[in-house]
Amino acid sequence: MADLMMALVGGGAIASLLLVVHALDRRSTR
């Protein structure tokens, strides 16, 4: 059960990080 929670948390963190990087990249490029 702990492994599943860690996987979900890790996946969410990676997804949010990618979204943030993508948003910043789009905003920085003109």
3-class secondary structure per residue, the chain:
CHHHHHHHHHHHHHHHHHHHHHHHHHHHCC
**pLDDT number for residue 29:** 78
pLDDT digits (tens, 9 = 90+) for 1-30: 799 999 999 999 999 999 999 999 998 876
Amino acid at 13: A
CA distances from 3 to 8, 13, 23, 27 (A): 9, 15, 30, 36
Which is nearest to 12 in space by CA: 2, 23, 24, 20? 20
Q: Locate 3 and state its tokens.
A: 């492994």
What is the per-residue pLDDT for 14? 97
- Predicted confidence at residue 22, as pLDDT, reads 95
Q: What is the CA radius of gyration of the chain?
A: 13
pLDDT at 24: 94
